[in-house]
A and B are shown apart, each in its own frame.
Chain A
Amino acid sequence: MDKRSSKTRYQLASNRKSFLGLTKESALKGLFGGNAFVSIVVLGLITLFLFKEGAGFFGQYRDSLLLYRQSGLEYVELMRGQQNALSALTRYLNSIRSRQIEKLAEEGYDFQESRAIMEESEDFFYDFEDLAVPLREHVIEANEILSAARDSYQEMQNLSEHRESLLKSGRQDEADALEIREIDFALFFDIVKSRESEYIKINENLIRGIEGILPSTPDFGDAELQAKTERFKELAEMFIEEVSKFEENVLAWERSRPVPISEAFTSFIFGKKWVTNSSIQDWYGLIPLMSGSLLVAMVAMFFAVPLGVGAAIYVNQVARSLERDLIKPYIEFISAIPSVVIGFFGIAVFGTLIREVSGWESLAWIDFFPISERLNAFTAGGLLALMAIPTIFTLAEDALNNVPLSYKEASMAMGSTRLQTIVRIIVPTALSGIISAVLLGFGRVIGETMVVLLCAGNRIEIPRFAEGIGVVFEPVHTMTGIIAQELGEVVHGSMHYRALFMVGLVLFLISLLINYFAQKIVMKFQISRG
């Protein structure tokens, strides 16, 4: 008895071999625990880093907006808005003219004959263009004066920074030799402001001029051109009404109005312009990028949700085991294709194909066909759908798989068909799992970079949603795309650099929210199963 127990004890002891004071078990525990710890720390660091780099943005942006206001460039921008509206009018007129030239050429007139015919309308065109000149010159002059002030202000800023660094390195003499002036914006602005009466007079002349010239629009004797001319008249009258509004805004503008930090915040979150390296003012507005991202994602989900969920239902409920063994790995394999290859395919094949198809005569009844841009939100969205399908498929299939077989049996045993069972029992039971699959697919699409960078067209403008479905064929830029495109070229620590980090932060928050809700929904699913 004693002998045996001692032997047992001996064996127990020999099992506890240790290396550097670590047993096998605790080493394993340490290894896995360490892995988990490292991933948590890394995630925390990433979050911290994003916040740290992005945080300075709003302060910088506010300073920039403040400078924009104090230098009076904002004032000029208001007048430029009016000038742009006028230019749009001129452009419309030009489009009528080029259409007229086209028509004449189609009808077989040669150059000399065309010129003779166009003489009458030509006069009207030139007269109208001349009307725009005084306003344009006024804006240019004002801009020159104020830009000069702003530029020398920035130069002085740079000089004083230089002086600081000289002082720091103890080179007092050189620092003293720098000539640093204070720039008084008020001085410059008063010059511009004093010419306000001129601006009012220009507007009076402009209105009178347009009103005077409108009745003498040329008579083309052609239905299409005539309709365009009528439209031009309408637009011109609208412009006349707008002039007083522009003027009101210009006169009411105040240089001394402060720029609160909230304004920097709102003009980032709700800003409609993303303009960088501008000679006048940089704008960092999220809306064009966000709307681009959402538009692409919507297109992608439009295709990926029915296909992914449909395939999951088919594979899980209908397919024979041979089909299942074929389809499942095949769909899951799609996610193994590198996104740059998909993007390349989009440029080389898919985009061209879409444009070709949109040019078919049999599709001419669709009012936004043929499309002009090969690379647009639809191209990118179509390809992103391809990348979202495996995610949605796999997760939805899991959710369907989690529906107890007994539900299916009970339903079938009451004489329901396979389809009725799927529609009334299986899908409703798995619905929350399917929804969270869709959400995670959406997260995948929103975060995807390479495909949108290559295929979305990269035009930074808010898509014209008012135009209906055709909006999906407009080129867009996205939040992910802009970071990938611009981050490599910006000056480290500049406002632009920080703005890109803020965009990244917004993306991060979106992903976080999506994942949070997906998990919430899945949890609800588990509870309801009892």
Chain B
Amino acid sequence: MDTPAVESHRGDRNPSLIRISDFDFSYGDKQALFDINMDIAEHEVTAFIGPSGCGKSTLLRCINRMNDLIESARIDRGKVEVNGLDIYDERVDATELRKRIGMVFQKSNPFPKSIYENVIYGLRIQGINRKSELDETVERCLKGAALWEEVKDRLDTSGLSLSGGQQQRLCIARAMAVGPDVLLMDEPCSALDPVATAKIEELIHELKNDYTIVIVTHNMQQAARVSDRTAFFYMGNLIEMNATDQIFMSPDKEQTEAYISGRFG
């Protein structure tokens, strides 16, 4: 990476994994993102915060090209690079990309299948059907998602029979099974109670060692608790991105301070 980091930072940083540069994005006539520049470092938790409609989820979905599913979505300018590779290059296969960059959604969405089948879905679609490999993956991923102890005796019951927090951890396990480097989390705790939220947050801490995590959250305390770096968005613009402590203690921009101190948003 020869271009310098776009924003200032202090202290040691892991090398950058995802680089977004001069990025403009629209839904039809409506521009959603304006000139975004940022680096997301490996093995860190990066939080996107900002009021509703500020574009944080949109940007998250640009990182694994989920916005391809929306007909009117369009990139006007700039690029997103992962490991130095422009992911919107026409030679890039979006399905391969999504295997490398997993995603967890706001509302837990296990398939109406058994817990076991939910976890190995990503392997099944790759044509992997060897029982020993599947079994091993299920155990590893459920353990990784801190769900193994709770469900190991009922792997063949429906994923929908779990509680909300368990369902969300099942979704994380499911995303892990494909073996991604990055996990994108789109407000993973917004539908959960505080106890379940605490469990997920704890999990995020542990996952940091193996994955690069980007989390969109509405909850500023959560961003402060789990993330290493925080990016604040407002009206489709990246206002400020910095170490989380820095953002919450002494933000550079006035808008950031106004938002985190609760004056708007």
Which A residues fall within an 8 A CB radius of B?
Answer: 320-321, 404, 406-417, 420, 424-425, 428-429, 528-530
Chain A residues within 8 Å of B129, by CB: none
Contact B66 A414 (CB under 8 A): no
Chain B residues near A409: list those with CB within 8 A: 66, 69, 103, 105, 109
A412 engages B112 (CB within 8 Å): no
Chain A to chain B contacts (Cβ below 8 Å), 13 pairs: A404-B109, A406-B107, A406-B109, A409-B66, A409-B69, A410-B103, A411-B111, A411-B125, A413-B105, A414-B99, A415-B96, A416-B95, A529-B160
Question: By the criterion CB–CB under 8 Å, are B105 and A406 in contact?
Answer: yes
**In chain B between 63 and 104, which residues have their CB closer than 8 angstroms to a CB of chain A?**
64, 66, 69, 71, 95-99, 102-103
- Structural contact, B112 and A528, CB atoms closer than 8 A: yes
Closest B-chain residue to A530, C-beta based?
Answer: B160
Taking CB atoms, residues of chain A closer than 8 Å to B125 are 411, 414-417, 420, 424
Q: B229 at interface (Cβ–Cβ under 8 A)?
A: no
B122 interfacial by beta-carbon distance below 8 Å: yes
Given contacts A409-B103, A413-B175, A415-B97, 20 further A-B contacts (CB under 8 A): A406-B105, A406-B109, A408-B69, A409-B66, A409-B105, A410-B103, A410-B171, A411-B111, A411-B125, A415-B99, A415-B126, A416-B122, A416-B125, A417-B95, A417-B125, A424-B124, A429-B111, A429-B112, A529-B112, A530-B160
Task: Determine whether the beta carbon of B98 is less than 8 Å from that of A413.
Answer: yes
Closest residue of chain B to A320 (Cβ to Cβ) is B71
Residues of B contacting A415 with CB < 8 Å? 95-99, 122, 125-126, 178
Closest beta carbon of chain B to A416's beta carbon, Å: 4
Q: Which interface residue of B71, B98, B125 has the most chain A CB atoms within 10 A?
A: B125
Looking at the assembled complex, report how far the CB atom of A325 sits from the nearest CB atom of chain B, in whole angstroms: 12
Cα distance, A320 to B71, chains bound together (Å): 8
9 closest Cβ contacts across the A-B interface?
A415-B99, A406-B109, A413-B103, A415-B98, A414-B122, A416-B125, A530-B160, A415-B95, A410-B109
Q: Tell whether B56 is near chain A: CB-to-CB under 8 Å.
A: no
- As a 0/1 sequence over residues 203 to 217 of chain B, the CB contacts with chain A under 8 angstroms (1 = contact) are 000000000000000
Given known pairs A404-B109, A425-B111, A429-B112, the reply for A413 and B102 (CB within 8 Å) is yes
- List of B residues within 8 angstroms of A410 by Cβ: 103, 105, 109, 111, 171, 174
Distance A455 CA – B10 CA, assembled complex (angstroms) = 84
For residue B34, CB closer than 8 A to chain A, the reply is no
Chain B nearest Cβ from A530, distance in angstroms:
4
Report yes or no: A414 in contact with B69, Cβ–Cβ below 8 A: no
Tell which of B66, B99, B112, B126 has the most Cβ of chain A within 10 Å: B112
Instruction: Give the Cβ gap from B161 to chain A, nearest Cβ, in Å.
Output: 8
Residues 39-67 of B contacting A (Cβ, < 8 Å): 64, 66
Q: How far is the CB of B98 from chain A (nearest CB, A)?
A: 4
Closest residue to B178 on the A side, CB-wise? A414
Within the complex, what minimum Cβ distance (angstroms) separates B181 from chain A? 13
In Å, the complex CA distance between A417 and B94 comes to 9
Complex Cα–Cα for A415 and B102 (A): 8
> Which A residues touch B171, using CB under 8 A?
410
Write the nearest CB–CB distance from B17 to chain A, whole angstroms: 18
Give B142 Cβ to nearest chain A Cβ, in Å. Answer: 16
Question: Inside 8 A of A429's CB, which chain B residues have their CB?
Answer: 111-112
What's the minimum C-beta distance from A381 to chain B, rounded to whole angstroms?
Answer: 35
Q: How far is the CA of A301 from the CA of B97 in the complex (A)?
A: 41
* Structural contact, A407 and B109, CB atoms closer than 8 A: yes
Indicate if the CB atoms of A413 and B95 lie closer than 8 Å: no
B192 to chain A, nearest CB (A): 15
Residue of A406, A407, A413, A416 near B64 (CB, 8 A) is A413
B121 at the interface (CB under 8 A from A): yes
Is A321 within 8 A of B71, CB to CB?
yes
Nearest-CB residue, chain B, relative to A403: B112
Query: Is A414 a contact partner of B121 (Cβ separation < 8 A)?
Result: yes
A414 touching B71, Cβ below 8 Å: no
Residue of B nearest to A421 (CB): B125
Residues of B within 8 A of A414 (CB): 98-99, 102, 121-122, 125, 174-175, 178
CB distance from A429 to the nearest CB of B (A): 6
B122: chain A residues at CB < 8 Å are: 414-416
Complex-state Cα separation, A409 to B184, whole angstroms:
13
Q: What chain A residues lie within 8 Å of B174 (beta carbons)?
A: 410, 414
What are the residues of chain B within 8 A of A404 when measuring CB–CB? 109
